[in-house]
């Protein structure tokens, strides 16, 4: 047997070389989703009324404070989003940071059914954007600019008013919700 293996090595060195295991090939989109799930972040809901006054809203994972002077925030919404369409119609939106215990609010706004989230609304702000009940924080914004980036739109909002409470935030990480102490 040893002579056979020696002969095989001599005839075909590659046949006896250690085999390197290759990671399974994944689509870049799946890799990006896996990467994003590792980031613990606040949970945001953006709301807007369309031109007919109908409320729209979406749970989003992409929002950031963009500038202090002037005060600007950035949100990202899919081009196919009804909420983005409403924002484009009215030029304004309300950005909410959810408080601990508002998992159901996040889930309601993650879908496309208005009746699922109407129970979480508490009137409208001065721009007509729906306001959420018991949010940790809320910012009333007017659209300053919009950019297209792949399958999403980046909307920059100029802050017109902000309200903040002392509640603990709702955190999303690896597909689940958690809370931090206030």
Residue 31 to residues 24, 36, 76, 173, Cα–Cα distance (Å): 11, 9, 19, 16
Please state the rounded mean pLDDT for residues 52-63.
92
Helix (H) or strand (E) holding 172: strand 170-173
Please state the rounded mean pLDDT for residues 31-60.
91
Residue 5 pLDDT greater than 70, yes or no:
no
155-177 confidence digits (pLDDT tens): 999 999 999 999 999 999 888 89
CATH code for the domain defined by 38-179? 2.30.110.10
Please state the rounded mean pLDDT for residues 78-103.
96
- At 24, is the pLDDT very low, low, confident or very high (cuts 50, 70, 90)? low
Please state the rounded mean pLDDT for residues 131-149.
96
User: Domain-by-domain residue ranges, the chain?
Assistant: 38-179
Provide the 10 A C-beta neighbour count for residue 155: 25
What pLDDT is stored for residue 14 in this prediction? 47
Please state the rounded mean pLDDT for residues 71-82.
96
Verdict on whether the full-model pTM lies above 0.85 = no
User: What does the alpha-carbon distance between residue 161 and residue 166 come to, in Å, rounded to a whole number?
Assistant: 17
Residue 99: is the preceding peptide bond cis (ω within 30°)? no
Which of the two residues, 13 and 115, has the higher pLDDT score? 115
What pLDDT is stored for residue 21 in this prediction? 58
Residue 107 pLDDT greater than 70, yes or no:
yes
- At 26, is the pLDDT very low, low, confident or very high (cuts 50, 70, 90)? confident
Q: Which of 13-17, 21-25, 134-138 has the lowest mean pLDDT?
A: 13-17
Helix (H) or strand (E) holding 149: strand 137-149
Residue 87 pLDDT greater than 80, yes or no:
yes
């Amino acid at each position: 047997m040893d002579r056979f293996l020696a002969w095989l090595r001599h005839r075909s060195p590659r046949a006896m070389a250690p085999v390197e295991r290759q990671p399974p090939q994944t689509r870049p989109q799946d890799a990006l989703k896996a990467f994003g799930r590792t980031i613990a972040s606040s949970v945001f809901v953006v709301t807007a009324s369309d031109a007919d006054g109908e409320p729209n809203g979406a749970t989003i994972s992409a929002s950031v404070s963009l500038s202090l002077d002037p005060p600007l925030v950035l949100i990202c919404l899919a081009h196919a989003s009804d909420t983005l369409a409403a924002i484009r119609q009215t030029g304004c939106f309300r950005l909410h940071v959810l408080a601990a215990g508002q998992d159901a609010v996040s889930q309601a706004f993650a879908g496309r059914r208005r009746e699922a989230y109407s129970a979480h609304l508490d009137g409208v702000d001065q721009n007509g954007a729906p306001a959420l009940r018991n949010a940790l924080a809320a910012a009333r914004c007017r659209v300053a600019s919009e950019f297209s980036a792949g399958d999403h739109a980046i909307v920059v909002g100029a802050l017109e008013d902000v309200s903040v409470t002392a509640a603990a935030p709702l955190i999303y990480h690896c597909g689940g919700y958690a809370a931090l102490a206030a």
